[in-house]
Amino acid sequence: MKSRERVKRAFHYEKPDRVPMFSMNLIKSDFLYSILFNSKIWQPENYPPHVPGGVYSISKLYYRLLVYNWKKKFRKKAKYPKKWWKYPHTSIDEWNILWKSAGTNSKDITKGHPCFGPIQDNWDNLDNFKLPDGSNSDRFRLVRFKLWKILAKNKYTVGALGTNGFFNICSQIRGFNNILIDFVRNSKKVHKLIEKLIPYYLDQIKEYKNQYPKLDAIYVADDLGTQKSPFISPTIFNTFFKQSYKKVVSLTHDLDMDFILHSCGQIFELMPNIIDTGVDVFQFDSPLMTGVENFKLFSEQRKVAFWLSSNIQSTYILGTPNDVENEIKYYIEQVGKREGGLAIHEYDSNSTLGTPKENIMAQREATLKWGMYNQDGFIDWLI
């Protein structure tokens, strides 16, 4: 069974031959990601640019030559040194959100921290607040690369949108504390902001499919939880975000793609409402926070599929290879034994986590060892 078919069958409970996996070893991976880049036209004048991958990306010569570079005249005008990314700095993204970074030459691809949004002081500029052009074809240059298309052959391709989901982007534009207060005190303003955002997502989804018609899924990251509970109640999610998610998920389905939502944190209480929007797959890097036993409730009803990593806050980085193997077996037993419903995800910055190489290999090997389905769509060692 080819990778593309394997993943589609797994995500829709249609009897794959084995549990599929994403791996940084692209030969073994059933998935291939695409990300969106900054438009080359965008050149900030007062701060360095904030780019996907943070300073790790911009510090690489190939990235500056082939992907994106802050032009010399703008860097000099803003009075920054040539290798500005080495030092603590504030950068700015295309939304005019400011980000704090410690500056690094390590392999840390974390984003930094959003520290000030364009309407954080007040709502006065909401009407004049301009969004980036989501349909700018320059952003989609990765899926046009010949090498990417070669790698994509027979893979399940995932297009990551060029910003976070609705809750995260609202919190970055308005400020995290502010938006939590605004849900109660300025609800009309929040609704207006979200309505302003929806076309950006829709434009990106349509242009992704236009640029690469074989694309299989849209991926959005929206971190909705703390270590112990969601940031917002199910009522607030329903009031402000449910309909907006329904619109982007509906378009994704109309274009014959799956919709994958990544979230960090414990979000169990929100999951039924998110599932009601039509989301096909939850991707979790720390599944133990929400609870794999809770995922079982949804997989038994085949309501949604799961794409899970060995828990990156504990087992994956601190456990033994045997611990990792047992955790993957547990996922398969609880979530993936019913004709599909499960894929395994390898965290894409193992250097940032400091993951032992033997644990990375243990996750890959455990998926192949314990995740084989028989012709009836069941796993023999669990029957």
The predicted pLDDT at position 162 comes to 87
**248 membership: H or E segment, kind and range:** helix 242-254
Closest Cα partner for 145 from 56, 220, 211, 54? 211
Contact (CB, 8 A) for 329 and 381: no
> Beta-carbon neighbour count of residue 318 at 10 Å?
14
Chunked mean pLDDT (size 10), the chain, 383 residues: 97 98 95 94 94 85 92 95 90 95 65 91 94 92 94 97 95 98 98 97 97 98 96 98 98 98 97 98 97 94 96 96 98 95 90 88 97 94 89
Contacting residues for 27 by C-beta, under 8 A, at least 6 apart:
none
Alpha carbon distance 271, 245 (integer Å): 13
The predicted pLDDT at position 109 comes to 62
pTM of the model: 0.96
Take residue 103 and report the two structure tokens written for it: 């500056």
Alpha carbon distance 178, 195 (integer Å): 18
Q: Where are the domains of the chain?
A: 47-116
User: Which residue reads 């644990």 in tokens?
Assistant: 359
Alpha carbon distance 40, 53 (integer Å): 16
Contact (CB, 8 A) for 362 and 321: yes
Contact (CB, 8 A) for 289 and 227: yes
Alpha carbon distance 301, 96 (integer Å): 43
Residue type, 285: D
Which letter does DSSP use for residue 86 in this model?
G
Take residue 358 and report the two structure tokens written for it: 């033997």
Alpha carbon distance 38, 290 (integer Å): 33
Q: What is the CA radius of gyration of the chain?
A: 21
Contact (CB, 8 A) for 216 and 8: yes
Alpha carbon distance 59, 6 (integer Å): 37
Q: DSSP 3-state assignment of 114?
A: strand
> What Cα–Cα distance (Å) separates residue 126 from each residue in 119, 131, 167, 195?
7, 11, 17, 12
Strand order in the sheet with 98-101: 89-92, 98-101, 113-116
Helix and strand numbers (H, E) in the chain are 17, 11
Take residue 216 and report the two structure tokens written for it: 């299989």
